[in-house]
C-alpha cells in the first residue's frame, strides 16, 4: 500500500509500548482488506500524555487504542464516553471526532467475552458465578463484563480491603486470598486479572477447589500459557488465554478507526503467536 496525504492513521499509546502486538494485528487486517490505512505504536512519557492527547483533537489521527498506564487518564481526557467505558472507569479506545471532541470507549470487556466464546465453545457467562482474581483496573473491567452479562461476580484479592472497595462499588462479593476456596465453589468462570505473573510471582490459589466445569482464563499472554493456565489444564479445566482477549478488543477498535469490520481471512492469532515464541 502506498501511503499518501489522505491515508487514515490510527495507533496505540502506552508506556512502554515497543512490545505491543496491536500494530501487527491492525496492519495485517488493513493489508488483507486492501484498505488504505496505517496503525502505529506511540510511546509517550507520562508527563506528556495530556498534551499529546490534546494535540490530536480534530482528526490528526482517526483514533487511538490506549494501554498501560493510561486507560484511566484516557477516559478523563474524553468529552463523551460510552456506558461501558464509564462503568469500567477506563478507556482502551479514543476516537477523535472531526469537530474536535474525543469519544472514549472500552472494548476490553467485549474482547474478554469474545475470547471465552472462541476458546470455550458453548460457554454461557450467565450460567453461574464468575470469580475475578485481583482488584485493580484489569479486574474491574472483567467484573463489569461479567456483571453486564448477568453473572454473579466474586472478587478475590490479596488485599481484602481493595476487593471490598471494588465489590461495594459494583455490587458484587469480596474475598481475601485465604478465602479463595470458598469463592471457587460452583464457579462458572475464573479469571486471573492480577499482575502477579508480570512481576514473576506465582499466584498461589487452590485451583483444585473449582468444579471440573469451570473455564479458567488468564489476561496475561506473555507467556501464552501462564503457570496459572498450565495448572488449570493439568487439572482438566478448559482454559482461555489473554491473546484471545487482545484480538477480541482489537476487532471493534479496527471498525471504529477504519469504518469496516476486520477481514476473517487472515489468521492474526497465528501471526501474533510467531512473535510470542521464545
| Nearer to ligand ATR among residue 59 and residue 89 (C-beta) | 89
184: left (phi over 0), alpha (psi -120 to 50) or beta: alpha
Residues 108 to 147: which contact ligand ATR by CB under 6 A? 134-139
Query: Is residue 71 among the annotated active site residues?
Result: yes
The window from 79-87, 144-152, 191-199, 244-252 that contacts ligand ATR (CB under 6 A) reads 191-199
Q: Is the dihedral of CA 77, 82, 88, 91 positive or negative?
A: negative
**Min dist. Cβ of residue 4 to ligand ATR (A):** 38
**Min dist. Cβ of residue 192 to ligand ATR (A):** 9
Site size toward ligand ATR (CB under 6 A) is 16
Q: If binding is defined by CB under 6 A, does position 161 make contact with ligand ATR?
A: no
* Cα dist from 81 to 10, 103, 105, 114, 143, whole Å: 19, 6, 6, 22, 19
**Min dist. Cβ of residue 15 to ligand ATR (A):** 14
Q: Which of 22, 194, 249, 253 binds ligand ATR (CB under 6 A)?
A: 194
Question: Between vectors from CA 101 to CA 97 and to CA 105, what angle results, nearest 5°?
Answer: 75
Please provide the size of the chain in residues: 278
Q: At what angle do helices 137-148 and 160-170 cross, to 10 degrees?
A: 40
**Min dist. Cβ of residue 202 to ligand ATR (A):** 8
CB atoms within 10 A of CB 212: 8
| Marked catalytic residue, from 71, 162, 212, 274 | 71
Q: What span, in angstroms and rounded, lies between the C-alpha atoms of 147 and 218? A: 18
Q: Which of 201, 208, 225, 276 binds ligand ATR (CB under 6 A)?
A: 201
**Min dist. Cβ of residue 138 to ligand ATR (A):** 4
Q: Which of 27, 76, 148, 158 binds ligand ATR (CB under 6 A)?
A: 158
Q: Which of 157, 214, 226, 253 binds ligand ATR (CB under 6 A)?
A: 157
Q: What span, in angstroms and rounded, lies between the C-alpha atoms of 258 and 37? A: 7
Q: Which of 122, 199, 236, 278 binds ligand ATR (CB under 6 A)?
A: 199
Sheet strands side by side (includes 238-240): 173-176, 153-157, 130-133, 189-192, 215-218, 238-240
| Nearer to ligand ATR among residue 136 and residue 150 (C-beta) | 136
The window from 40-48, 91-99, 104-112, 188-196 that contacts ligand ATR (CB under 6 A) reads 188-196
**Min dist. Cβ of residue 160 to ligand ATR (A):** 8
C-alpha cell at 76: 478523563
* Cα dist from 221 to 19, 123, 197, 247, whole Å: 12, 21, 10, 11
Catalytic residues: 71
Residues engaged in binding ligand ATR (CB under 6 A):
134-139, 157-159, 162, 194-196, 199, 201, 203
Amino acid at each position: 500500500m502506498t501511503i499518501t496525504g489522505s491515508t487514515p492513521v490510527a495507533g496505540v499509546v502506552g508506556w512502554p509500548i515497543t512490545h505491543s502486538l496491536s500494530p501487527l494485528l491492525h496492519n495485517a487486517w488493513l493489508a488483507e482488506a486492501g484498505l488504505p490505512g496505517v496503525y502505529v505504536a506511540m510511546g509517550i512519557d507520562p508527563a506528556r500524555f495530556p498534551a499529546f492527547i490534546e494535540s490530536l483533537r480534530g482528526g490528526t489521527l482517526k483514533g487511538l487504542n490506549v494501554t498501560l498506564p493510561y486507560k484511566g487518564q484516557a477516559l478523563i481526557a474524553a468529552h463523551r464516553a460510552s456506558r461501558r467505558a464509564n462503568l469500567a472507569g477506563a478507556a482502551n479506545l479514543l476516537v477523535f471526532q472531526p469537530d474536535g471532541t474525543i469519544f472514549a470507549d472500552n472494548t476490553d470487556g467485549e474482547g474478554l467475552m469474545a475470547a471465552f466464546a472462541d476458546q470455550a465453545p458453548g460457554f454461557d457467562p450467565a450460567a453461574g458465578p464468575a470469580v475475578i482474581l485481583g482488584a485493580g483496573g484489569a479486574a474491574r473491567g472483567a467484573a463489569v463484563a461479567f456483571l453486564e452479562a448477568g453473572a454473579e461476580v466474586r472478587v478475590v484479592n490479596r488485599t481484602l480491603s481493595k476487593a471490598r472497595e471494588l465489590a461495594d462499588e459494583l455490587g458484587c462479593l469480596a474475598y481475601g486470598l485465604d478465602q479463595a476456596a470458598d469463592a471457587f465453589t460452583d464457579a462458572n468462570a475464573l479469571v486471573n486479572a492480577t499482575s502477579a505473573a508480570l512481576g514473576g510471582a506465582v499466584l498461589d490459589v487452590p485451583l483444585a477447589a473449582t468444579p471440573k466445569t469451570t473455564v479458567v482464563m488468564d489476561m496475561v499472554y506473555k507467556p501464552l500459557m501462564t503457570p496459572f493456565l498450565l495448572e488449570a489444564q493439568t487439572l482438566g479445566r478448559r482454559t482461555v488465554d489473554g491473546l484471545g482477549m487482545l484480538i477480541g478488543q482489537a476487532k471493534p477498535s479496527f471498525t471504529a478507526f477504519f469504518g469496516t469490520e476486520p477481514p476473517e481471512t487472515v489468521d492474526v492469532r497465528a501471526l501474533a503467536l510467531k512473535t510470542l515464541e521464545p
